[in-house]
Amino acid sequence: MNIAVCVKHAVDEGELRADTSGRPQLQGALSKMGSFDRNAVEEAIRLKESNGGSVTVVCLGGADSKKTLKEALAMGCDKALAVASARALDALATSYYLSRALKKAGPFDVVLLAEGASDTYHGLVGPMLARWLGLPFLGFARKVEVNGSKVRTEAALEDRAESYETVLPAVISVVSEVNTPRYPTLLQIMQAAKKPMEEVTVESLTDEGAPKFGVTVGDVVVQSVDRKKLVFEGPAEETSRKLIDALRKEGLL
């Protein structure tokens, strides 16, 4: 089975700080493979382990993307494809270039990705990619089962759970409870350096169908709600009384 998994090299949202003007300090900010993307890579490797085949990991982004690709290779992907883009792209353009890259590198039986990126969470690249590729989309899977030429997934929507079934090839997005991602061993990380990594640029993938417009991002400022951060410590009777008093003063009781 030929498997592709698309990942994002994301800003580490947990570590991101605001500068004095309230803008995110993106210069020198820590970055990593998107939190949910690790689950997609893990699921791709598990599919390979149970069905055979190989996994190609694809990442669109700047030069830092190779870090994420190397990590995915260390986890067990077989080859990597860096789709280099000098500037940040919106979901429509990202999915378009990913689809072009996958068409070139494919064909693939399964294309996996996370439900969304952990830094900018849109949850759009999956369904867009499926549409560009003309493939069925099975979204938000918490369980993936491949049976011969068919795939069945289970998804938890806001108010119900559903199961989907379709004939491969298909695009599948996974949620984080689908699995627990493995950590590569040091040996696997060292060996990953020898696995093949190809690079293409978005410019080389463009054709007349490329999106002409994009979402523009203007000012980004810190969401500033100053919390009181009053912490009560001590015996439960005492702290709960203090809390109730505080809530009364807020007019909440």
Partner 1 sequence: MKLFQTEHRRALRAFYGEGHAAFSTLLESLAGTLEAEVAPSSARFDADSGGISSARRRLFEAGLCRMPFDSHGGLSLPFGVYSLAMELVGAADAPTAMSLGIHNTVADGVFRYGSESQKKEVFEDLVSGKRLASFSLTEPSSGSDARAMSTTATKTGSSYRITGTKTFITNAGEADVYFVVARSEKGHSAFLVDGSAPGLSVGADIPKLGMRGSRTAEVRMDGCSVPAENLVGEDGRAFEYVKSMLSGSRIVMGSICVGIALAAYRKALHYATERKLFEKKLSDMQMTRERVADMRAGINSSRSMCLYASRIKETGEDYGSEAAQAKIIATETASRVCDQAIQLFGGYGYTNADVHRHWRDARLLTIGEGASEVLRLIVASMELGGAA
Partner 2 sequence: MDVLVFSENPHLAAELLSAGAGLAAASGGRAYSVEADSVRQGTHGNALLLRSEVPLLGDPALLAEAISAARKTKVAPVVLIGSTKTGRMVAGGLAVLDQLCVLSDVRDLRVDGGRLTGTRGVYAGKFNALVGGPLPSIALIPQGSYEPFSEPSGPVEEVRVTTGPPKVSREELRSSAKSSLDLRGAKVIVAAGRGLKAKEDLAIVQRLADALGGVIGASRPLSSDLGWLGEEYHIGLTGVYVHPDLYVAVGISGQIQHVAGIRDSKVIVAINRDKQAPIFQVSDYGVVGDLYEVVPALLRALGRP
Site residues for partner 1 per CB under 8 A: 12, 15, 28, 30, 32, 67, 70-71, 74, 183-187, 189-190, 193, 229
The single-letter DSSP state of residue 22 is S
User: Minimum distance between the CB of residue 73 and partner 2, rounded to whole angstroms?
Assistant: 26
Q: Which is nearer to partner 2, 5 or 125 (CB)?
A: 125
| E strands, 9-131, in order | 9-11, 31-33, 54-61, 79-84, 110-114
Two tokens, residue 149: 């030429």
Q: How far apart are CA 141 and CA 121, in angstroms?
A: 17
Binding part of the chain for partner 2, among 37-45, 54-62, 161-169, 187-195 by CB under 8 A, reads: 161-169
Q: How far apart are CA 169 and CA 107, in angstroms?
A: 9
CA angle 103, 106, 112 (to 5 degrees): 90
Question: Residue 173 in contact with residue 114, Cβ under 8 Å?
Answer: yes
Question: Residue 72 in contact with residue 43, Cβ under 8 Å?
Answer: no
User: Minimum distance between the CB of residue 195 and partner 2, rounded to whole angstroms?
Assistant: 31
Question: Residue 110 in contact with residue 3, Cβ under 8 Å?
Answer: yes
| Size, binding site for partner 2 by CB under 8 A | 85
Which of 52, 159, 186, 208 forms a contact with partner 2 (CB under 8 A)? Answer: 159
User: Minimum distance between the CB of residue 46 and partner 1, rounded to whole angstroms?
Assistant: 18
Two tokens, residue 154: 């289970």
Which of 63, 131, 190, 191 forms a contact with partner 2 (CB under 8 A)? Answer: 131
248 contact, one of partner 2, partner 1, none, CB 5-8 Å limit per kind: none
222 binds partner 2 (CB under 8 A): yes
11 contact, one of partner 1, partner 2, none, CB 5-8 Å limit per kind: partner 2
User: Minimum distance between the CB of residue 199 and partner 2, rounded to whole angstroms?
Assistant: 25
97 binds partner 2 (CB under 8 A): no
27 contact, one of partner 2, partner 1, none, CB 5-8 Å limit per kind: none
Q: How many CB atoms lie within 10 A of CB 226?
A: 5
